Amino acid sequence: MNEMNVDTVLYDWGGVFQRTIDHAPRQELARELAVDELALERRVFDHPAMVEASLGKLPAAAAWQRVMEDLGYRGDMLGFITRFFAGDRLDQRLVSLVIWQRAHGQRVGLLSNAPESISTAQGIAGRWGVDGVFEAQVFSYQIGVSKPHPLAFEAALRTLGVKAQQVVFVDDIIENVRGAEAAGLNALLFRNVEKLLTDLHGLGLCVPEYSELI
C-alpha cells in the first residue's frame, strides 16, 4: 500500500473525541446499583438490547429501558443517562485538529457504533456542538452493521467517495483497528493527541504542532 496517497482521516467517536475523564459520577452510580464501575460499563455497552440499538434493530429508548430494568435502576431514563456520562468530556484539541485538517485540504469523516440519541435527531457530534466539523458521519444504526465488520468501513468509504488506500482510520479499540486494516485501510490505535500527530505525520499527512491546538 502506498502510504503517500493518504489524504483522508476517518475517526471513531467514543474513546477518541468523547472520553471519560472524571470517573466519580459513574462510580457513584455503580455503588448505588451494587456493582463496580467496570461491571456497570459492561452491562450498559454490551447489553444485548444496546447491541441491537447500535444496529438499528431497536429504538435507543427501548434499549436504555431494558438496561435500567436489568440493573434495577428505578429513576428516570434521562437522569440515568446523564449520570452515566456525567464524567465524559470532549477533547477540544482533537476538535481543533479536525478543523485544521479540513482547512488544509484533508478530508475528515466519522464512523461510530454509537446508537441513536433518545432525545434528538442530531448525531453524536451534534449533541456535543461539533456537528459541522466532519465532512461525513456514518453510524452503525444507519447501516445495520458495526465495526469491525468490513461492510461498516465500506459504507464509510462509499459515503466519503474515497478508496481504502487513501484513508487512515483512528480508533481506540484494537479489534476495530485490525478490522480496518483487513478492509484495506491504513489504521492507527488512538492513545492521545500527541501520539496521533506523530503517527499521522508518519503516514505522510501534514499535521500542526501540538502547541497550535487549543
Residue-level pLDDT at 5 = 86
Domain match, 26 and 132 both: no
Domain match, 56 and 107 both: no
Helix (H) or strand (E) holding 213: none
Q: Which residues contact 45 (CB under 8 A, 6 or more apart)?
A: none
Please give the grid coordinates belonging to residue 161.
467517495
- Position with higher pLDDT, 29 vs 124: 29
Using the predicted structure, report yes or no on whether residue 3 has a pLDDT greater than 60: no
- H runs (alpha helix) in 104-192: 124-127, 140-143, 150-160, 174-182
Domain match, 99 and 159 both: yes
pLDDT tens across 122-165, in order?
567 777 778 789 999 999 999 999 999 999 999 999 999 999 99
Give this prediction's pTM. Answer: 0.93
Helix (H) or strand (E) holding 98: helix 92-103
Domain match, 110 and 195 both: yes
Domain match, 125 and 153 both: yes
Residue-level pLDDT at 123 = 65
Residue-level pLDDT at 120 = 60
Domain match, 162 and 111 both: yes
pLDDT band at 186 (very low <50, low <70, confident <90, very high): very high
pLDDT tens across 90-133, in order?
999 999 999 999 999 999 999 999 998 886 655 677 777 787 89
Residue-level pLDDT at 122 = 59
Which CATH number do you get for residue 205?
3.40.50.1000
Cis amide leading into 48 (omega within 30): no
Domain match, 75 and 109 both: no
Helix (H) or strand (E) holding 97: helix 92-103
Domain match, 79 and 93 both: no
Domain match, 47 and 121 both: no
pLDDT tens across 49-87, in order?
999 999 999 999 999 999 999 999 999 999 999 999 999
Domain match, 41 and 64 both: yes
Final residue before a domain boundary, out of 84, 119, 138: 84
Residue-level pLDDT at 124 = 73
Residue-level pLDDT at 1 = 39
Final residue before a domain boundary, out of 84, 106, 133: 84
Q: How many angstroms separate the first and last alpha carbons of the chain? A: 33
- As for how many domains the chain has, the answer is 2
Q: Tell me the residue range of the domain where 41 lies.
A: 22-84
